[in-house]
Amino acid sequence: MGTIGDWGKILGIAVFTGLYGWARYARRNPYPSLSRSLAGWFLLSIALGIWFSFHWRAFRVPLVFITVPLIVGGGMLHYLSWPRGSQQAAVDPSTNNGK
């Protein structure tokens, strides 16, 4: 579904938004999980590129098998790359304001 020009536009959107989102995330988090956060941003940006290119056709039968797993997988990888518990206390300098 779609032409090579459509998929080229999707790739361009994915690279730009994926690297932009990951760079913003890496700036806020000094020790990001490189593989999980970058992969999550890239998967979510591919889904965004498919949405911008095909609009509501992205949720029809051929593309729904690509779009939905990209959204779910990207969201899970992005969520799993966040620091939790003692990791967040070690990374976040605002937790030591009382000292």
Q: What is the pLDDT of residue 60?
A: 84
Contact 50, 12 (CB under 8 A): no
Residue 89 predicted with pLDDT over 60: no
- The enclosing H or E element of 65 equals helix 61-80
CA dist., res. 4 & res. 71, Å (int) = 22
> What would the two tokens of residue 84 be?
């939790």
41 token code pair: 């941003």
For 8, 47, 98, the CA distances from 35, given in Å and listed in that order, are: 24, 18, 34
pLDDT tens string 15-34: 888 888 878 877 776 665 66
Tokens 């304001």 identify what position?
Answer: 97
**Full-model pTM:** 0.69
